[in-house]
Amino acid sequence: MKISVLKIIVIAVIVGVIIEGVSIYRSLNYWGPHQHSQNEVSPSAIPFLQLNLKDLKEHSQALNQWPGKTLVINFWATWCEPCKEEMPMLSQLQNDLRDKQVQFVGIGVDEEKDLKAWLQTRSISYPILVGNDSTLEMTRTLGNEQQGIPFTLVISPSGIVIYKKLGKVKEEDIKNILQKYVAS
């Protein structure tokens, strides 16, 4: 029995598409918006908050410099379209919530020169810090097993992760979680 090369290629493509589809489906189900219930053990972000990263002016910035505030930390890169799409919304939320003890922080996991060039033509109202692959690696313990971006964390003033999301965040999700944990 002779099978043509074309049939083998078609079968291989179909199998590949099925495997990729199942993988994406499982990933989306596992990594959807995740909010911790009161009974669930949440990972502590305290070790992560000890991290110092440089800002775009080469000054070292500690992630724990905002005591008493709820932190919204967003990992992004200039080559990540969903990352760039959500930044104006995050910037607007920072402006809206500035007086509510909420601090947004962006951590760019990209080349510093690329971050600077991209941000030159944009107005982002929250600090942007420069991270790298090892910074992203640290997010594994905070729920980012795939080390993907965009990855957004909401961390309580006591250092507990109260929300995590791999993928583009929705404004309503961030507002809802902050409404529960931030004083009016």
CA-CA-CA-CA dihedral for 78, 87, 98, 32, to nearest 10: -110
Same domain, 99 and 15: no
Same domain, 11 and 49: no
Q: What is the CATH number of the domain that holds 100?
A: 3.40.30.10
Q: Which pLDDT does position 39 carry in this prediction?
A: 35
d(CA 47, CA 181): 21
State both tokens at 20.
């990729």
* pLDDT tens digits, one per residue of 64-123: 999 999 999 999 999 999 999 999 999 999 999 988 999 999 999 999 999 999 999 899
Same domain, 104 and 147: yes
Predicted confidence band of residue 5 (pLDDT cuts 50, 70, 90): confident
The domain tally of the chain equals 2
CB 122 within 8 A of CB 86: no
CB 99 within 8 A of CB 66: no
**Structure letter (DSSP) for residue 164:** E
The pTM assigned to this predicted structure is 0.76
Same domain, 24 and 43: no
Same domain, 17 and 77: no
| Cα torsion 69, 130, 160, 95: sign | positive
Same domain, 9 and 84: no
Same domain, 72 and 145: yes
Q: Which of 145, 165, 168, 143 is nearest to 83 (CA)?
A: 168
Which residues lie below 8 Å from residue 92, measured CB to CB, with a gap of 6+? Answer: 125
* pLDDT tens digits, one per residue of 132-163: 888 888 888 888 888 899 999 999 998 999 99
CB 148 within 8 A of CB 75: no
State both tokens at 69.
């505030």
Same domain, 85 and 115: yes
Same domain, 69 and 159: yes
Domain span at 52 = 36-181
